[in-house]
Amino acid sequence: MLAQVINPLRALNPQARLFFAVIVGLTFVADGLVSVLLNLYLLRLGYGTDFIGLVNAVGLLTFGLASLPAGILGSRMSTTALLKFGAFTCLAGGLMLPMVEWLPPGWREAAFVVPPAMMFGGFAFFFVNGAPFLINVVDDAYKNHAFALKAAHWSLAGFAGSLIGGLLPGAIAGMNGWTPDDPAPYRITFALAVLILALTAFFSLRIRPLPPRSPSRSAEVASERNGAGNGWMASVFMLIVIMTVIRLFQVAGSATAMVYFNVYMDQQLAVSTALIGAMAAIGRLTGVPTALVTPYLVGRWGNIRVVIWSSMVATLCLIPMALVEHWLAASFGYIGAISMMSVRYTAFIVYILDLVPRKHQALMAGTGEAAAGLSFAMMALGGGLLLTAFAFRDLFLLGTLISFIGTVLFWLYILVNKPKRKLKPAL
């Protein structure tokens, strides 16, 4: 099994391996350390769940709003230039985050939304243009392996960031004689994370532009063979719209778990920061083996079945979080949802990128990530407002229902479109 993982990694283009190194650095900070500590930092500054939901919503909404222009620009200019722009925008947001606390009241509340928004916006540019970059920089035989390795690196970096994010504030507080409720250890941790973002941005400068693909591997050849008139273009954009709507619903459950797991554990269950970080880290870590096994699941059952079943399992994992008020049940649900997210993402992204020609792949990825960002933002903002009148149970059940609808929509698309879905291959 280890050889089956290492051999595809060795076979990948060196540029793909450099891409993995950059995504590890960005994910370690933005999706690991910051995702665990930002909400807890705001709680220690005296803010409530409504403001926390607003900050998360603005950041996630920025991811969604930036994803669409990132995809449009990626279809018209160099994707590698946009990758670098995204990495440096993340660095700028990371530099600002530990400074906001020193602003006077009033200004501080308004400014707190800016660093997460910049980090998520930069991450959107990198993430959206990373998908077409990766699928075109590797051989066709290694597409599923490449995206599985991307998800594995993402999960492993998130694991490391979550684990260190859970431990470092306590260690800093202990060395300085501060209490666990002091915001200073969190601010210092964010400042240290800037060093990682700076190194990551430097690595991104070494990513080279994609070489032109040979005509035999170009999706435009297939489009010309089948007719590239308005009908073909209409079908491409109809596919993009359909997949965007599906993704909007599909990720809502995972979004709810990722945004409010740490708040639920801290406020409702009174769990320590170290344990919250450990559980979040385990969730990320389990995403590594599940991502790496995805190419073999796809090889046996195909992308479509893997997407449907992984989506269903991820949805069902949220039920223990809603119905059992215990940290073990919450952790089980969170870990299950996050690990299945790696499987679903790997199978789904390869499937949807193969539906369209290369020149539209950035747009497909951009609209998909815009939908995901919008879904995260709606659940973050809506969840914060919902929690002012209802319980965490209601929020988790709502996320479960919306994700289930997304799974059903994808199944219905496959059912209706089954005789036609292979008529226009992209690669």
Domain membership flag for residue 279 = yes
Give 223's pLDDT tier (boundaries 50, 70, 90): very low
SS3 228: coil
Burial class (CB in 10 A: 0-12, 13-18, 19+), 267: middle
Domain membership flag for residue 237 = yes
The number of distinct structural domains making up the chain is 1
* Spatial CB neighbours of 21, under 8 Å, sequence gap ≥ 6: 200, 203
Domain membership flag for residue 83 = yes
Domain membership flag for residue 161 = yes
3-state secondary structure 266-321: HHHCCCCHHHHHHHHHHHHHHHHHHHHHHHHHHHHHHHHHHHHHHHHHHHHCHHHH
Tokens representing 97 are 């985050």
SS3 324: coil
Residue that is written with structure tokens 């992308």 in the block? 303
* Spatial CB neighbours of 62, under 8 Å, sequence gap ≥ 6: 116, 117, 118, 120, 121, 124, 373
Domain membership flag for residue 59 = yes
Domain membership flag for residue 100 = yes
Under 8 Å between Cβ of 426 and 354: yes
Domain membership flag for residue 407 = yes
Tokens representing 286 are 């389990």
Assessment of whether the complete model's pTM goes beyond 0.85: no
pLDDT at 91: 95
Supply the CATH number for residue 68's domain. 1.20.1250.20
Tokens representing 17 are 């391996």
Whether pLDDT at 423 is above 60: no
Write the pLDDT tens digit of every residue in 309-358. Answer: 999 999 998 899 889 889 999 999 999 988 888 889 888 988 888 888 87
pLDDT at 164: 87
pLDDT at 198: 94
Domain membership flag for residue 423 = no
Alpha-carbon distance of 54 to 36, in angstroms, equals 16
**Exposure pattern of 148-181 as b/e (b: 16+ CB <10 Å)?**
bbbbbbbbbbbbbbbbbbbbbbbebbeeeebeee
Under 8 Å between Cβ of 346 and 144: yes
pLDDT at 25: 93
Segments forming the whole domain that contains residue 52: 14-206+231-417
